[in-house]
């Protein structure tokens, strides 16, 4: 005999308390296998697919795409042990989710792609087809019903499903009230791209503002008192997901950390020459970021105060034994800081490979919460934006961040003569509670010396 089990949003780790539904991967009536991903959610750390620990028939979903749910809220219900499902009630998940046990080995996962027809568990008979009135009622009752009502499927174009793959495109349209079914994409096979949505939004804004400009009339008579200023119009963008997490973290950093910044210009000509020689020798290419990271880890060995955190409750500075190096990466979803674990144990080649792997994961939105947390020091290469300097905000609860500007030819006194050299500005923002300016200046000077004369690094290894 079948019975219905409720699957709740599990604790996804790292202290996260909520997640936003980005895309449902199953429909009501689908047969799901144990550990099959059923929904794609966005947390404050990353985009993740959530597997269902039960096998059976989906009887209800809770929450529209774009809805934020707290951990522990119902996600969906599954009829377990139904004849159509072919599973029994005692089968459990192979995945470890907080609040759900493990039993059977994980089943093969199958991801439902946008536009792919779904398979219904029950046979389609004339008696099972809903009437027009029932369909309309189900559409109204769709959001988060607690009574287990079957939800209506998402509306489709007359000629088929909306051709959208990117959840970012869906979100941009949803937050601005744009119906994707009205667009024709410029991508392959009519795929709707972000540029299509942005163009549609600009067109809609222009059509609304133009009549206002035509019908505006001058005031015929003076007024006795100035009218109150009107609130400027604009688009409201919710601070949630990664953008919200960044806002919270940076605000906390500025509230709690008494930071200070020092900077220095350095001649990076020899460092660039060394990198060119290393890559000319064959083998995997060494990135500039990897060489700077190698210099950072060596500097932190000499100045361990900057690889620490502050415990204000215990009123202690905690010096950390491992260097987990974060690096700032700008993506379409916002600023993220992936973390290279045990960076102090890696050589330049290993660092290059790890930076490349994490950067690609950041670009595709597949970084896990564990890859975005636990950093002890951050390297911020803002030179890629074409700027020379910056005073970055420390990545709380770390104690320091090294900023690197662009490397450009500039006049420089070299060996007593004026010459054109490749110059970079380095800045260090540090928590003044962990050290004074002498330590911070010593760290930054050592980094600059290694940039100017890479042999300095070899002598100190």
DSSP 10-27: P--STT--EEEEEEES--
CA distance 348 to 387: 25
- According to the model, what pLDDT value does residue 67 have? 86
- Secondary structure of residue 310 in the 3-state scheme: strand
How many contiguous H segments (helices) and E segments (strands) does the chain have?
9, 19
- According to the model, what pLDDT value does residue 162 have? 60
- According to the model, what pLDDT value does residue 146 have? 36
CATH code, 258-460? 3.30.559.10
- For residue 407, what are the contacts with CB-CB under 8 A and spacing of at least 6? 268, 272, 383, 422, 423, 424
For residue 417, is pLDDT > 90? yes
Average pLDDT, stretch 375-398? 92
Catalytic residues: 432, 436
For residue 262, is pLDDT > 70? yes
The first and second tokens of residue 49, run together, are: 């697919």
Asked whether the domain spanning 258-460 has the same topology as the one spanning 167-208, the reply is no
CA distance 328 to 385: 12
Tell me which of 10-24, 269-283, 324-338 is least confident. Answer: 10-24
Topology annotation, domain 3-140: OB fold (Dihydrolipoamide Acetyltransferase, E2P) (2.40.50)
- According to the model, what pLDDT value does residue 6 have? 92
CA distance 104 to 120: 24
**Host H or E run for residue 308:** strand 308-311
The first and second tokens of residue 70, run together, are: 């707290």
The first and second tokens of residue 139, run together, are: 């559409």
- Secondary structure of residue 234 in the 3-state scheme: coil
The angle formed by the CA atoms of residues 427, 243 and 260, to the nearest 5 degrees, is 25
Structure letter (DSSP) for residue 190: G
Architecture of domain 167-208: Irregular (4.10)
| pLDDT bracket for residue 434 (50, 70, 90) | very high
Beta sheet of 37-42, edge-to-edge order: 47-51, 37-42, 18-24, 68-70
Average pLDDT, stretch 75-103? 57
Structure letter (DSSP) for residue 242: H
C-alpha distances (whole Å) from 420 to each of 21, 150, 341 are 54, 71, 38
- According to the model, what pLDDT value does residue 13 have? 62
Do residues 87 and 55 make contact, with C-beta atoms less than 8 angstroms apart? yes
CA distance 197 to 203: 10
For residue 148, is pLDDT > 90? no
Nearest CA-CA partner of 105 in 116, 94, 95, 113: 94
- For residue 430, what are the contacts with CB-CB under 8 A and spacing of at least 6? 259, 260, 261, 262, 306, 394, 399, 400, 401, 440
- Give the ranges where 176-304 is alpha helix by DSSP (H): 194-215, 241-256, 269-280, 288-302
- Alpha carbon 53 to its chain's center: 26
- Alpha carbon 441 to its chain's center: 33
- Secondary structure of residue 65 in the 3-state scheme: coil
What residue spans define the domains of the chain?
A: 3-140, 167-208, 258-460
Do residues 405 and 389 make contact, with C-beta atoms less than 8 angstroms apart? yes
| Higher pLDDT among residues 231 and 268, named by residue | 268
For residue 84, is pLDDT > 70? no
Do residues 48 and 13 make contact, with C-beta atoms less than 8 angstroms apart? no
Structure letter (DSSP) for residue 112: P
pTM of the shown model: 0.57
């Amino acid at each position: 005999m079948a019975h219905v089990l409720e699957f709740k949003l599990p604790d996804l780790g790292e202290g996260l308390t909520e997640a936003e539904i980005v895309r449902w991967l199953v429909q009501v009536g689908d047969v799901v296998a144990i550990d099959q991903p059923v929904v794609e959610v966005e947390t404050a750390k990353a985009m993740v697919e959530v597997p269902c620990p039960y096998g059976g028939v989906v009887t209800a979903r809770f929450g529209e795409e774009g809805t934020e749910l707290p951990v522990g809220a119902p996600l969906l219900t599954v009829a377990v042990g139904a004849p159509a499902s072919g599973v029994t009630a005692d089968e459990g998940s192979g995945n470890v989710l907080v609040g759900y046990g493990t039993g059977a080995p994980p089943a093969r996962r199958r991801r439902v792609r946008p536009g792919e027809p779904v398979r219904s568990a029950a046979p389609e008979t004339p008696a099972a087809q809903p009437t027009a009135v029932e369909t309309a009622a189900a559409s109204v009752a769709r959001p988060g019903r607690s009574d287990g009502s079957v939800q209506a499927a998402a509306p489709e174009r007359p000629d088929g499903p909306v051709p959208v793959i990117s959840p970012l495109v869906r979100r941009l349209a949803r937050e601005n009230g744009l119906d994707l079914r009205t667009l024709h994409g410029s991508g392959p096979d009519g795929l709707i791209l972000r540029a299509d949505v942005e163009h549609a939004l600009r067109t809609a804004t222009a059509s609304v503002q133009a009549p206002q400009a035509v019908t505006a009339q001058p005031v015929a008579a003076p007024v006795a008192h100035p009218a109150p200023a009107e609130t400027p119009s604009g688009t409201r963008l919710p601070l949630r997901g990664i953008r919200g997490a960044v806002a919270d973290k940076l605000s906390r950093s500025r509230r709690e950390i008494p930071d200070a910044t020092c900077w220095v210009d350095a001649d990076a000509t020899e460092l660039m020459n060394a990198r060119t020689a290393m890559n000319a020798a064959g083998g995997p290419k060494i990135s500039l970021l990897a060489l700077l990271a190698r210099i950072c880890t060596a500097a932190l060995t000499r100045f361990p105060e900057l690889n620490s955190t502050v415990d204000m409750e215990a009123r202690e500075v905690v010096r950390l034994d491992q260097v987990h190096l974060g690096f700032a990466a700008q993506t379409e979803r916002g600023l993220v800081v992936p973390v290279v674990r045990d960076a102090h144990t890696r050589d330049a080649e290993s660092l290059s490979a790890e930076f490349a792997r994490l950067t690609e994961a950041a670009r595709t939105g597949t970084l896990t919460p564990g890859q975005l947390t636990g950093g002890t020091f951050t390297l911020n290469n803002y030179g890629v934006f074409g700027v020379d300097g910056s005073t970055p905000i420390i990545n709380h609860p770390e104690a320091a961040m090294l900023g690197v500007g662009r490397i450009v030819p500039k006049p420089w006194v070299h060996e007593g003569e004026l010459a054109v050299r490749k110059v970079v500005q380095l800045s260090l923002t540090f928590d003044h509670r962990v050290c004074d300016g002498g330590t911070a200046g010593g760290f930054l000077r050592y980094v600059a010396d290694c940039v100017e004369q890479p042999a300095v690094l070899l002598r100190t290894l």
